[in-house]
Structure formats: structure tokens, C-alpha cells
Amino acid sequence: LVSRKWRVRPTVLDLGDGVRIGEGSLSIAAGPCSIESEAQMEKIMQHLVDNDVRLMRGGVFKPRSSPYSFRGLGMEGLKLFHQMARARGIKIVTEVMQVSQVEEMHDYVDVFQVGARNTQNFNLLDALGGVDKPVLIKRGISGTIEELLSSAEYVFSGGNEKLILCERGIRTFETASRNTLDLNAVPILKEKTHLPVVVDPSHGIGIRDYVPTMALAGVMAGADGILYEAHEKPEEAASDGAQTLNFQESERLIRNLRKVYALR
């Protein structure tokens, strides 16, 4: 069902208020790895509004490698996130980690994110097949392109056709970067599926200085959007600070992304 053979026309998702994801426009979603506080959200939302970015990413349930790391503000944080975003015309992309969260998060999110560690959580995918909100599925940490498509097929066949695929880097033998951003996946996915494809260069390379370059490369490779981490003070971020852009870097990237997209 997610194949171009089944549907030739590209899927374009309409999130309302003029926010679209898919062919015909470049989607930019930026925000912190983790939602931390009202003050933090105030700052980043102003940054997004100033740059006419209408999609904000930010985790309230965080999958952390260590149980001692910050694991997110949970539902309380999401409710505040939702309230503040609504007031500013911003749409929310945030990670759902388990089936029981789907229902409680539903009314407070615009796009459910399935993280790389949950790409093959088939019960979660089944649950998301039953909702009427878009789902962004990240490629698994060691997942193949075919496995990503298969995960999307779970949600689609469950009845939810509002899907976005995200290349976020895979684990390889390379140690010079956090992950290996597989830009090969972009043209391959664009040919195989009618679904929108976005690139996450932050997790893809994991090193702040290289994030903008890989974001621009993602657009040139054919991505419909870029999802990246930004924070007023990356060095103080509760998670993923080393791959997070400050506002100056983020503003410059947004400008360049739009220029490069116009060249395509």
C-alpha cells in the first residue's frame, strides 16, 4: 500500500493552518531534543515564528540509552507544549514510545513520532494504524530501507494513511560520527513509495558543525523536509546538545535550506 506501484500520486499531508508535508513544499521541523521548561519553549517558539517555521519537534518521552539520563517531562510537559504551540500557530511533532501513550497523547500532538528504537515495535505500529493523526516513522538504528517500508505498511494497512518516513542515520562500523546518515535512502525511498520522506541530520551525523551541510545535502538528495535539533543554549540542553544548533546556526540553515530547495 505504501508502494508507488499502488499509488502513483505523491501523498501530501495537510496539518491544517496551511502546514503541509510532502511534494510541492519544503517542510522544516526544528526544536530541542527534549522539552525542558516553559522558558525554553518560549525561546525556541519565538525563534521558529521569527523564521516562519511552523513545525516544532521536541520529546516529552525520551528513549535514553542510560536509565540515569533525563527521560522527559511526560504528559505534563506535552500539555504545556501543546498549549503554547497552539497559541502561536505551531504544529507539534513528538515521540510516542508505547501503546498506552497513543490515546493519552492523541489530543495534544499534530504528528506522532515513532523513534528509531521503536520502528519495529509492531504493537505500537498497529495502535497508530487506528488513529487519525499523521505518524512520522524513523528508520531503525540497524534497519534496512525495506524494513522501514514494512513498518509503514503496518500503519497504512491498519487504516492510517497519514505517514512520513524519516532517514536518521544507521549504525555502521564508522566511529567518526554518531551514526551514518544514509542519503542513499532518500532517492530510493522517493522512488519506492508515494509517502513524504524527511531527513534528520542531527541524529544522522551527531556533530553540530556538520549538521547544516548534511541537511542541505538531504534537500538536494530529494527530501521533502528536514527535522533537526535546535536550542537557545545547546551546551545546556538536557539531551543531544552536541548535535543541536544554536539559534544563529539554525537561522542560517533555514535560509540556506530554502535557497537550496528553490534550486531543485
Is residue 203 a contact point for ligand PEP (CB under 6 A)?
yes
How many Cβ atoms from other residues are within 10 Å of residue 89's Cβ?
A: 14
Cell 491498519 locates to 158
Angle between helices 185-192 and 145-157 (to 10 degrees): 40
Q: Which three cell numbers stand for residue 140?
A: 531503525
Which grid cell is 193?
Answer: 513509495
Q: Which of 2, 15, 26, 33 binds Mn ion (CB under 5 A)?
A: 33
Give the nearest distance from C-beta 203 to ligand PEP in angstroms.
4
C-alpha cell at 57: 519537534
* Least distance CB 205 / Mn ion (angstroms): 13
Task: Quickly tell me which residue has 535546535 as its cell.
Answer: 230
Nearest residue relative to Mn ion (C-beta) = 33
Please identify, using beta-carbon distances, which residue of 22 and 59 lies nearer to ligand PEP.
Answer: 59
| Nearer of residues 27 and 244 to Mn ion, judged by Cβ | 244
Subset of residues 9 to 48 that bind ligand PEP, contact rule: CB under 6 A: 33
Angstrom distance (rounded) from CA 140 to CA 115: 8
116 is a contact residue toward ligand PEP (CB under 6 A)? yes
Alpha-helix runs per DSSP H in 51-184: 74-87, 99-105, 122-128, 145-157
Using CB under 5 A, which residues numbered 201 to 240 contact Mn ion? 240
The verdict on 143 binding ligand PEP (CB under 6 A) reads: no
Cα 203 from Cα 181, distance rounded (Å): 8
Q: Is 71 in the site for ligand PEP (CB under 6 A)?
A: no
In the complex, least distance from residue 239 CB atom to Mn ion, rounded to whole angstroms: 6
Residues whose CB falls within 8 Å of the CB of residue 238, separated by 6 or more in sequence, listed in order: 32, 33, 34, 36, 70
For ligand PEP, the closer of residues 233 and 259 by Cβ is: 233
Q: Measured from the CB atom, is 59 or 77 closer to ligand PEP?
A: 59
Residue 235, amino acid = E
Q: Based on the shown chain and the rule CB under 5 A, indicate whether residue 183 belongs to the binding site for Mn ion.
A: no
Stretches 84-92, 101-109, 112-120, 242-250: which one binds ligand PEP (CB under 6 A)? 112-120
Judge residue 68's burial from the number of C-beta atoms within 10 Å of its C-beta, 0-12 exposed, 13-18 middle, 19 or more buried: exposed
Residues that bind ligand PEP (CB under 6 A): 33, 59, 63, 115-117, 138, 168, 203
Residues that bind Mn ion (CB under 5 A): 33, 240
